[in-house]
Each structure stands twice: as structure tokens, then as C-alpha cells.
Amino acid sequence: MHCNSVAEAVKGADIVTTITADKAMATIITADMVEPGMHFNGVGGDCPGKTELAAGVLTQGKVFVEFEPQTRIEGDVQQMPADFPVNHLWKVLAGKEVGRDNDEQVTIFDSVGFAIEDFSTLEYIYKQSIQRGIGVDIELVPTPIGPKDLFTHTRRGQLRSVKRRAV
């Protein structure tokens, strides 16, 4: 589907994900684009000074974060006052807090990328695939035979591959 604007692209969407590379405050979603029940994944606001969701979007929804101290520096919430309320994703996943309160509520995941979370998820999926006997091993990460030779990977036949399970 071809759209002439961001507003046209998100109209009527249930889930909107923003992932931009520009290292600046580049507002992609504005408050007037928010509709009841929408969920936003703000993934591109991942360093100080870089945001994608306008402050008016954040004030319209329930905001979830991975690791609050990091998100307040790097995420979209960096543009909000220090006392702006956020909810911890882990508490929702652990059943300690509710996520969405009702079908009309706007929810926002302000993701900045938390490495331990990524690794833990991958490790869990890998172990589950082995336990269930699903997936296949594939060559994913080349390992140079001479690790101190940074150019080993540029010469054919000079690689060992580390096998990883793909599911």
C-alpha cells in the first residue's frame, strides 16, 4: 500500500512501529495521529537527543520501558519531565502489573535496546528449540582461524563457522 504521509500510513492501524536511523529529534508520530486502542513501538529513539514520538503521543498513553534509567536518557521519554510516569515491562511479563487497562487505552513501548534482555530471549529460544527438537543448525557467525589476523575473513577457505540453531 502506498501512502503519501505518515498520518495516512498509520490511520486505522492497531500497531505502529517506528525505527529510524537519523540521530536527531525527528518526530515521526504526532499527537493528532493517535487513535483509541493503538499500540506504538518506539524503537528508533535509542540515543540522547534522538526521538520519534512527539511528547503529546506519550501523554496520551501508558508507556512501558525495559530499563528506566537508560530509557530516560536515550528513549522517547527523554523529552518528558523526570517525574513522567513509566511502567516496567518486566513487571507486566511477570504478572505483577497489568498491561493495557482497557481496549481503548493507547499503549507505548519505548524500546532503547537492553542487551541482557536480548541475550536472555535468544538463550531461552535456543534452549527451547533444543528441548523440543525443532530448528536446524546453520552457519551464522564466522570464526577466523587466526583470531589476531583481522583479514582472515577476507580470504576464502580461511573460516570456521560457529553453528547456531535457527527456529
| Residue extents of the structural domains in the chain | 6-113, 116-166
pLDDT at residue number 122: 84
pLDDT tier, 135 (very low <50, low <70, confident <90, very high otherwise): confident
- Is residue 101 within 8 A of residue 37, CB to CB? The reply is no
Annotated active-site residue in 46, 110, 137, 149: 46
| DSSP H/E element including 133 | none
Task: Give the CATH class of 6-113.
Answer: alpha beta
Over residues 90-130, the pLDDT tens digits come to 999 889 999 999 999 999 999 998 788 778 888 888 899 99
- Dihedral (Cα; 57, 58, 64, 70), 10-degree rounding: 120
pLDDT tier, 144 (very low <50, low <70, confident <90, very high otherwise): low
pTM value surpassing 0.75: no
Checking if the pLDDT of 157 tops 60, the result is no
149 in active site: no
Q: Three-state DSSP class for 64?
A: strand
- Is residue 117 within 8 A of residue 125, CB to CB? The reply is no
